């Protein structure tokens, strides 16, 4: 059914196997139950009448990702993802890259949540074999399936074309050539679209590098520092009042700044 209550929706957003740092989830489930009122009419519905259904301190935070280990990837898969994203956003003189910024952890945790299963999307068939380019996403494969099958196809391709080696062991130049071919769709994997794998990793890498660090990537706000995005500072009236001036304050995330210590 589509009518999951919102606490269930929120709970699905975070990886289920992690311990919430805020005790919000169970409390919200309780509230959701309390909101199921039996009306005077006898109908079971979430009814709002006479007062706003609002309680002090009620909010719906996400569960912060705790780095360490893999919830979806195997160790081999994670090593290959690390190696790919290290080419997509390399560490260089401009600062850390995707690998050092926790982006593999970000992707791993995203894949275990509702995004990884396309849980919120319309996934009924029939699935067209030849959709128009204007019709967008039409594959029955969820992100989890794309990664599992795509990384296996990449491993098989590398083994067959690079003398039994893994992607991880290729030279930087070979990795870049292969990724460029995947991006264009010129590289043909056995049984899987190389372009689909590239697009999945590229999209998720950009998300992880620039999303709030609460999701496991963008460690120390490296992505935000790269471009000068100040994060969630909330009030920029001073910037509007001082046009064309460089912004000098460091970024702030949903959990504050590292310098402020662990909350």
Smallest gap from residue 241 Cβ to another protein (A): 7
Stretch that binds another protein, among 64-72, 123-131, 149-157, 184-192 (CB under 8 A): 123-131
Closest to another protein by CB, 123 vs 152, is 123
In contact, 202 and 189? CB cutoff 8 Å: no
Within residues 124-163, the interface with another protein by CB under 8 A covers: 124, 126, 128, 131-138
Q: Does 51 bind another protein (CB under 8 A)?
A: yes
**Phi-psi bin for 212: left (phi > 0), alpha (psi -120 to 50), beta?**
beta
Site string for another protein, 82-121 (x = CB under 8 A): -----xxxx-x-x--------------------x--xxxx
Exposed e or buried b per residue across 102-132, where buried means at least 16 C-beta atoms within 10 angstroms of its C-beta? bbbbbbbbbbbbebbbbeeeeeeeeeeeeee
Q: Does 229 bind another protein (CB under 8 A)?
A: yes
Give the whole-angstrom CA distance, residue 139 versus residue 128. 8
Q: Among 23, 122, 164, 260, which residue sits at the site for another protein (rule: CB under 8 A)? A: 122
Q: Among 174, 183, 195, 250, which residue sits at the site for another protein (rule: CB under 8 A)? A: 183
Q: Does 262 bind another protein (CB under 8 A)?
A: no
In contact, 69 and 175? CB cutoff 8 Å: no
Q: Does 174 bind another protein (CB under 8 A)?
A: no
Give the whole-angstrom CA distance, residue 16 versus residue 215. 14
Q: Among 17, 23, 41, 171, which residue sits at the site for another protein (rule: CB under 8 A)? A: 41
Q: Does 177 bind another protein (CB under 8 A)?
A: no
In contact, 5 and 33? CB cutoff 8 Å: no
Smallest gap from residue 180 Cβ to another protein (A): 9
Exposed e or buried b per residue across 157-167, where buried means at least 16 C-beta atoms within 10 angstroms of its C-beta? bbeeeeeeeeb
Q: Does 53 bind another protein (CB under 8 A)?
A: yes
Q: Among 52, 75, 259, 262, which residue sits at the site for another protein (rule: CB under 8 A)? A: 52
Give the whole-angstrom CA distance, residue 104 versus residue 216. 8
């Amino acid at each position: 059914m589509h009518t999951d209550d919102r606490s269930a929706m929120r709970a699905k957003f975070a990886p289920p196997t992690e311990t919430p740092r805020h005790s919000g989830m169970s409390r919200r489930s309780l509230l959701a139950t309390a909101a199921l009122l039996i009306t005077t009419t006898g109908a079971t519905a979430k009814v709002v009448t006479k007062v706003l259904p609002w309680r002090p301190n009620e909010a719906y935070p996400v569960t912060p990702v705790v780095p360490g280990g893999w919830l979806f990837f195997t160790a081999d898969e994670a090593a290959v993802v690390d190696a790919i994203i290290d080419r997509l956003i390399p560490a260089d003189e401009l600062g850390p890259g995707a690998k050092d910024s926790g982006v593999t952890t970000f992707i791993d945790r995203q894949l275990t949540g509702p995004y990884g299963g396309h849980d919120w999307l319309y996934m009924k068939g029939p699935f067209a074999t030849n959709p128009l380019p204007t019709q967008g996403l039409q594959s029955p494969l969820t992100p989890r399936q794309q990664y599992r099958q795509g990384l296996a196809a990449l491993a098989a391709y590398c083994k067959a074309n690079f003398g039994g080696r893994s992607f991880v062991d290729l030279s930087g130049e070979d990795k870049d050539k292969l990724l460029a071919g995947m991006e264009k769709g010129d590289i043909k994997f056995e049984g899987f679209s190389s372009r689909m794998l590239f697009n999945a990793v590229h999209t998720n890498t950009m998300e992880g590098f620039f999303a709030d660090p609460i999701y496991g990537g963008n460690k120390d706000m490296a992505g935000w520092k790269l471009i000068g995005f100040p994060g969630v500072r909330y009030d920029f009236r001073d910037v509007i009042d001082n046009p064309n001036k460089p912004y000098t304050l460091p970024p702030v995330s949903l959990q504050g700044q590292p310098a402020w210590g662990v909350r």
